[in-house]
Amino acid sequence: MLTVTQYQRGLAHYYGCYKGKIDGKAGPATKAAVKKFQKLRGLVQDGKYGPKTNAELVAVVKLIQAIVGVKQDGKCGPTTVAAIKAKQKAWGLVQDGICGPKFWGRYNGNGAATASGGSSAHFRKSEFKCKCGGRYCNGYPAGNTNAKLLNILEKIRAHYGRPVNIRSGQRCNRHNAQVGGNKNSSHKKGKAADIYIKGVCDTAAGRKQVVQLAYKYGAKYSYANTRQMGTSVHINV
């Protein structure tokens, strides 16, 4: 378990969750920072720095350390901060040592600008293939998956710094009917996807946050937390 000083530093350099003095005291500002981090990572937002929050922060810091090329010990010390700033400089970003949206967007290749031909930087065309298994269609009844949808998914991926699993992409008429989809479903038009993000979509709060992000990034409709959706989040444009 990280000490208060150690997790204050980690929180300070991840989206600037903690903005106070690194004093090793778990006061109101530190608790608020923990809650902000928990919200960003889809955890229960109780402000308590327990085992789950600790494991999540250590994992995040290790990922950052891997990106910037230093020892992966999960502790955001001076060497890690210096390496973050060096990476920001190399990427043409503000060198503040904070791994925020621009840092993660750059790490993920700014995929939102590359969506074309039914694929993007981190999503292959085949990930959206109809799951009828070729029984009723060629897999792509709508042709290429909509570029705007891909852009939204790239931004969500950049926000979390985690892979986004496509559980349902395009659907032909017969497969859509088999799974109980609406007859006018956007899945049939290549404009919808049901997604899952490990460590985020495992809680109702995490799924709700993904829905909010989808709307923020331009989704026409998004929902989750129904019996039919399970741990998936629906997004369409």
Give the residue with greater pLDDT, 163 vs 33. Answer: 33
**Cβ–Cβ < 8 Å for 163, 198:** yes
* pLDDT tens digits along 25-75: 999 999 999 999 998 887 889 999 999 999 999 988 998 998 899 999 999
Mean pLDDT, the chain, whole residue set: 92
| pLDDT of 214 strictly over 80 | yes
**Bigger pLDDT: 1 or 40?**
1
Domains in the chain with CATH codes: 4-97 (1.10.101), 111-236 (3.30.1380.10)
pLDDT (0 to 100) of residue 112: 42
49 to each of 43, 142, 156, 201, how far by Cα in Å? 11, 47, 25, 20
User: pLDDT at position 109, please?
Assistant: 58
pLDDT of residue 114 exceeding 80, the answer is no
Mean pLDDT for the stretch of residues 211-231: 96
Query: Tell me, what's the pLDDT at 70?
Result: 93
Name the band, by pLDDT with cuts 50, 70 and 90, for residue 104: confident
What does the DSSP assignment read for the chain? ---HHHHHHHHHTBTT---S---S---HHHHHHHHHHHHHTT---S----HHHHHHHHHHHHHHHHHHTS--SS---HHHHHHHHHHHHHTT---SS-B-HHHHHHHTTTGGG--BTTB-SS--GGGG--TTTTSSSSS-TTSSPPHHHHHHHHHHHHHHTS--EEEE----HHHHHHTT--TT-GGGGT-EEEEE-TTTTTSHHHHHHHHHHHHHTT-SEEE--STTTTT-EEEE-
pLDDT at 117 over 50: yes
pLDDT at 113 over 60: no
pLDDT, one tens digit per residue, over 118-154 is 887 788 899 999 999 999 999 999 999 998 999 899 8
Classify strands 165-168 and 221-223 as parallel, antiparallel or unpaired.
unpaired
Question: In which band, very low, low, confident or very high, does the pLDDT at 107 lie, cut at 50, 70 and 90?
Answer: confident
233-236, strands of its sheet edge to edge? 165-168, 192-196, 233-236, 221-223
Average pLDDT over residues 156-181: 93
pLDDT value at position 23? 97
Tokens standing for residue 148: 């705007």
